[in-house]
Structure 1
Amino acid sequence: MPEGDTVWNTARVLERALAGDVLTGSDFRVPRLATADLAGWTVAASASRGKHLLLRLTRDGEKPLTLHSHLRMDGAWRAYSPGERWGGRPAHLIRVVLRTARSVAVGYHLHDVTLVPTAEEETLVGHLGPDLLGDDWDPAEAARRIAAKPGATVAEALLDQRNLAGVGNLYRAETMFLRGLWPWTPIADVADLDGVVTLAQKLVASNKGRWTQTTTGSLRRGETTYVYGRRAQPCRRCGTAIRKADQDERVTYWCPRCQPRPADGQTEAGGTDASPRPAEG
């Protein structure tokens, strides 16, 4: 699942493969960059900002450039040695190929691939909230942004990259479970927003440097999460069946006992008891 930690790890893959080297060739398989040629440019740095990847390039006599890409749900970068078979994904999914004397970086099913002057990076990522894995991480600022929309649900607020950058479906579900928050709880009713965002950051940061995402501490298959991906399975705390429902065009998971619905007449749809409940899968 490409969330903040996955993107951070991917940036490290590109850094190890390309940083400091001169590109000997490039191949862009997206219409807007079909004629772009980065041969002769040096890869100065590979960075992540929330779920965005930023590959920074320099060349004598030229203004620095940034190659921006977004993984969304299905994108990936792979690094190979020259002559090595590219086995990451089917060839028709390749969007970018970058070559140096010692490595070939291949981007599969990338989204929002853009080449901009590095000085204009903020036009692409300036709207993002504090980065969970960045130097700008500030839990107070993240909590302030979330609190500015008291009517939003906690699930919606955690997924909004304008509040804090790097949380995806997995970490929002796990954060809500560990904080005992019903996913449809309005932000106005969340007592400790600082605690919520601080926990989310700790969960994401705990998986830096590895590809297996775990919130339970176990790396064993089937034991890595508390609620995410575990519909109808017993809660690890109380044994109640985990539930799954559509929410804001995504899915959410929760334990109805550990994350109880407030006793105020609300339903998962956010209305009264007469309101329809979301379809569950």
Structure 2
Amino acid sequence: MPEGDTVWQAARRLHRGLAGRTLVRSDLRVPRLATVDLAGRTVIDVIARGKHLLTRFSGGLTLHSHLQMDGSWKVYAPGQRWSGGPGHQIRAVLATDDTTAVGYRLPVLELLRTADEDHVVGHLGPDLLGPDWDAGEALRRLLADPSRPVGSALLDQRNLAGIGNVYMAELCFLARFTPWTPVGDLPSPERLLGAARRLLEANREWPDRTTTGPAVRSRSTERLYVYGRAGRSCLICGTPIRTASESHGWTGRERPTYWCPRCQRGPGPAGR
């Protein structure tokens, strides 16, 4: 599932390509929106809210989309070949005179009144990349259940919005605690939130995400400390990175979790 910085970049591309322009064509290829025609409406703006995208139109309408695991929005100039996937994977087309935005493999696509956006994003915690980021409120939500493993607490978008599996693993490594450490056992949880904010802000302008510091990058090409590096040497201590398949509280949504058993203190996954 895309991280908050990836969704922020998608919103910026869509905003730059569509905002202030009038649609000359719209094609929403999901059954309940198949008869909707947005042509003639002006795109007001496109914003990211956590991992959600909100495309706002004149007349008080918003197109809500979520990328989940493999969805994407591509923006094309006139005559440019569409390359985001086969035609049957296209779920949305929004075209102006000089830009066409194409949504591929979008598992969530719905049209609602702009005044009702809270119905789809109102449950989210403070947005790490939002203008209204509230570290105090995010900390309050994170600590509401002190016994909850920090990994699942960070992934819960109701606590704070924008962290996915990559940042969860990297933040736990930087904090030197395993993802299964209870939130209440963290000595300085506010520092964890500060690091989360800094990492997403530092990466939102770049397509190649990196969490490793200058000292590591001076001697290695690795961009991440633990994520995706199972069996390879820890960049700090040399111990092989370990991985486990974890649901982090969501049944049926197992995902790989990475950690260094030497650098990170705390419990391991259940049964280990």
TM-score category, normalised to shorter length: over 0.9
- After TM superposition, the structure 1 stretch with the greater mean CA deviation from structure 2, 184-193 or 237-246, is 184-193
2:67 is aligned, of 62, 71, 92, to 71
Instruction: Tell me how far apart the structure 2 counterparts of residues 139 and 187 of structure 1 sit (CA, whole Å).
Output: 16
How far does the alpha carbon of each residue in 1:214-241 deviate from its partner, in whole angstroms, 9 at most, with x for none?
A: 1115599961100000000000000000
Alignment of 1:147-226 (within 5 A): 147-217=143-213, 218=217, 223-226=222-225
**Which residue in 2 is equivalent to 1:259?**
264
Is 1:14 aligned to 2:17, yes or no? no
SS in 1 for 2:6: helix
Deviation at 1:250, TM superposition (A): 2.1
Instruction: Tell me how far apart the structure 2 counterparts of residues 15 and 103 of structure 1 sit (CA, whole Å).
Output: 11
| Contact 1:51–1:166 (CA under 8 A) maintained in structure 2 | yes
Structure 1 residues 239 and 219: CA distance shift in structure 2, 3 A: closer
Structure 2: gaps of 5 or more residues:
248-253
**Which residue in 1 is equivalent to 2:241?**
242
Is 1:87 aligned to 2:83, yes or no? yes
| Contact 1:212–1:219 (CA under 8 A) maintained in structure 2 | no
TM-score by length of 1: 0.90
Instruction: Tell me how far apart the structure 1 counterparts of residues 186 and 207 of structure 2 sit (CA, whole Å).
Output: 32
**Which residue in 2 is equivalent to 1:145?**
141
Q: Percent identity?
A: 56
Structure 1 residues 222 and 163: CA distance shift in structure 2, 3 A: same
**Which residue in 2 is equivalent to 1:45?**
45
2:93 is aligned, of 83, 91, 97, to 97
Instruction: Tell me how far apart the structure 1 counterparts of residues 184 and 2 of structure 2 sit (CA, whole Å).
Output: 30
| Contact 1:68–1:114 (CA under 8 A) maintained in structure 2 | yes
**Which residue in 1 is equivalent to 2:269?**
268
Deviation at 1:260, TM superposition (A): 2.5
How far does the alpha carbon of each residue in 1:138-173 deviate from its partner, in whole angstroms, 9 at most, with x for none?
A: 111111101101121000000000000000000000
Aligned length: 263
How far does the alpha carbon of each residue in 1:171-204 deviate from its partner, in whole angstroms, 9 at most, with x for none?
A: 0000000000111101121121111111111111
Instruction: Tell me how far apart the structure 2 counterparts of residues 198 and 84 of structure 1 sit (CA, whole Å).
Output: 41
SS in 2 for 1:27: strand
Structure 1 residues 99 and 65: CA distance shift in structure 2, 3 A: same
Structure 1 residues 40 and 5: CA distance shift in structure 2, 3 A: same
| Contact 1:244–1:253 (CA under 8 A) maintained in structure 2 | yes
- After TM superposition, the structure 1 stretch with the greater mean CA deviation from structure 2, 243-252 or 215-224, is 215-224
TM-score by length of 2: 0.93
Structure 1 residue runs of 4 or more that deviate by more than 3 Å after TM superposition? 217-222
Instruction: Tell me how far apart the structure 2 counterparts of residues 193 and 235 of structure 1 sit (CA, whole Å).
Output: 24
Q: Which amino acid aligns with 1:43?
A: V
Q: Which amino acid aligns with 1:268?
A: P
Q: Which amino acid aligns with 1:57?
A: F
Structure 1 residues 220 and 133: CA distance shift in structure 2, 3 A: farther
Considering only aligned residues, what root-mean-square deviation do their CA atoms show, in Å?
1.6
Instruction: Tell me how far apart the structure 1 counterparts of residues 266 and 44 of structure 2 sit (CA, whole Å).
Output: 50
Instruction: Tell me how far apart the structure 2 counterparts of residues 82 and 235 of structure 1 sit (CA, whole Å).
Output: 47
Deviation at 1:111, TM superposition (A): 2.1
SS in 2 for 1:206: helix
| Contact 1:131–1:164 (CA under 8 A) maintained in structure 2 | yes
SS in 2 for 1:54: strand
SS in 2 for 1:149: coil
Structure 1 residues 221 and 25: CA distance shift in structure 2, 3 A: farther
